[in-house]
Structure 1
Amino acid sequence: MLDISQATNMLTSMGVSSTLAARAAERTAQSHANADPLTFLKELRATLEELSANTPVAGVNASTAPEAAASAPYKPTADRYGAAAASTATTGPTSASSAESVKAPFNNLEEFKQWEKGLDCTFAEDYETPDYVRLTSTVLNGGDDTVVGRYMFFKNNPEFAADYASIRSGQLSKFPTDGSTLVKSDLSKMSDETAAYYKKNPHLLLAAEGFNMDPTLAKMRMSGEISPPTGVDASEWLMSNTWTKDGVVAQNNRVAYASADFIGLDGKGADTYRLTRFDTATGNYVNYDGRVYDPLTGEAKA
């Protein structure tokens, strides 16, 4: 069964405010607790649209809702990322690698804290949530307990630091806002029909991933092309199996998504985000390049 926390986390990762996401998830769960997972997603979307219409948020455009991505024309992730990165850099080629030429506006954790405190809080009327903000929404909305995580993210991705300061001053982001860079599924491994469907509906692809469902099986289930075995819970089946050209095979999709890169709709965005993970065994941060950082100071360890 799908639960409220799953639905809430999925919506917040797609740019919906935590309050609105929780309300939409709770209302949908109350009315459709025993619904098929695909029906639940449809009802969740309808509930979100209803609540969004009745609860306007100052400074935030309605396009932050996941269905808004469908109205934007598809552009390759690598192209959009490269163009944005180039516009924030003073030198370098028009590619994602040019992002590395951007210097962070701080040199250590203490300087980062001062930089963060100095950020404005004015958003444009037509503001749309950038993908990188959706990706780091939990950390960005945190306090002192997540400050090192924020520091590491912007230290590793200084082009986003410059953009973040800009949008906090009323400007629009130069980076993708349609969720296209947050896709983990490889569309080249899907049928042409399914890949085309998800390119036109990236919000549905992100929804399937958010619930740890195989996208192809989710689409086939929604269209009535396939059903889980008799007596098997549909939610669990969609989360525990994946489609291949040779048939359906068992796979723990939760684990698969957790370890997958954000490759984007075009499959070329694996280097878009330079991320750090928290190692629960040692209590340290392990950077994308393998270096280990202190969880309190953000300094590299020998």
Structure 2
Amino acid sequence: MLDISQATNMLTSLGVSSTMAAKAAERTAQNHAGADPVTFLKELQTTLEQLSAEAAQGTAAGTTGATTTAAQTKPYQSTAALYSSKGATETGTTQAAVKAPFSNLEEFREWESDLGDTFAEDYEVPDYVRMISMSLSGGDQEVVGRYMFFKNHPEFAADYEAIRSGKLSKFPTDGSTLVKSDLTEMPSETASFYKKNTARLLAAEGFNMDPTLAKMRTDGVVEVPDGVNPSEWLMNNRWTPDEIVAQNNRVVFARAPYIGLDGKGADTYRLTTYDSATNSIINFDGIAYDPVTGEAKA
């Protein structure tokens, strides 16, 4: 069975509230103690759906007659289509089409403190919020990270400000832009399955499992070698057309870009990395920033 804290953190990173994530992980662990990792993953998803349904029923009972906010944009179809120059210009979602509402860290702090706290009845968490959920809840300790993210993505800053005022996001909310696996490298049936079940794909990635092997394990197509821990095996091996090969999936996923469900979204998120040798935040363009002040280093 997978660790409860690991399951909780994975769900939180996918945009599930910390309270809901903890409940889902704990209930799954209680009801399925000793389950192999793939079974635990399936039951975790089922439990989360049950808890979400219970919460929705409770909310509906207390908000009878509430007006539902209509969707303000067309349904998301493709990472490439949404972030192409033409498509993004039409929706006003390109970086060039939007200017950040701040120019330095102090202005960002002020902007962030003035954000509203009203969400639409049918609000759905956009993918970019799922990706930086830990930073958003990190308080002042993570403020430079948030500043750099929204500085690099002024279109997300404008969108985030809007959804904090009761509007719906203009960006994907289905997790499709958070995919790191290349579906073209999977068997066609597996790729087709994951295209229709993005949450299952993200869950496998979140637990550092090779998605193809995880599905094969679920379908009974492959067996874990005798005496080998199933979780460790799924995390340290990868399917290929010729054979199953050793691979540290934790490292691979940590380094992999978010290419999206269609494999064309590698430039969607402009992220930073931390360089411990120089105590610097390295931006996507190679410029080094001070991790305390958020200012570019000379």
Give 1:48 deviation, angstroms.
Answer: 1.2
Aligned partners of 2:119 and 2:163 also within 8 Å: yes
Identity %: 69
Normalised to the residue count of structure 2, the TM-score between the two structures is 0.90
Show the 5 A alignment for 1:65-144: 75-82=77-84, 85-87=88-90, 89=92, 98-144=94-140
Show the 5 A alignment for 1:166-205: 166-205=162-201
Q: What amino acid is the match of 1:245?
A: P
2:258 is aligned, of 252, 259, 262, to: 262
Structure 1 counterpart of 2:72: none
Give 1:15 deviation, angstroms.
Answer: 1.4
What RMSD, in angstroms, separates the aligned Cα atoms of the two structures? 1.9
Structure 2 counterpart of 1:93: none
Aligned partners of 1:209, 1:2: CA distance in 2, in Å?
A: 14
Aligned partners of 1:99, 1:39: CA distance in 2, in Å?
A: 42
Give 1:53 deviation, angstroms.
Answer: 2.5
Q: What amino acid is the match of 1:173?
A: S
The one-character-per-residue Cα deviations of 1:134-157 (angstroms, maximum 9, x if unpaired) are 000001112111110100000001
Structure 2 counterpart of 1:289: 285
Aligned partners of 1:183 and 1:265 also within 8 Å: yes
Aligned partners of 1:160, 1:148: CA distance in 2, in Å?
A: 16
Larger mean Cα displacement after TM superposition, 33-42 or 49-58 = 49-58
Aligned partners of 1:148 and 1:296 also within 8 Å: yes
Aligned partners of 1:85 and 1:159 also within 8 Å: no
Aligned residues: 282
Aligned partners of 2:190 and 2:212 also within 8 Å: yes
Structure 2 counterpart of 1:37: 37
Structure 1 counterpart of 2:242: 246
Give 1:291 deviation, angstroms.
Answer: 1.1
The one-character-per-residue Cα deviations of 1:17-40 (angstroms, maximum 9, x if unpaired) are 011101111221233231011110
Structure 2 counterpart of 1:7: 7
Give 1:85 deviation, angstroms.
Answer: 3.5
SS of 2:250 mapped into structure 1:
helix
In structure 1, the gaps of 5 or more residues are 60-72, 90-95
Structure 2 counterpart of 1:68: none
Give 1:78 deviation, angstroms.
Answer: 1.5
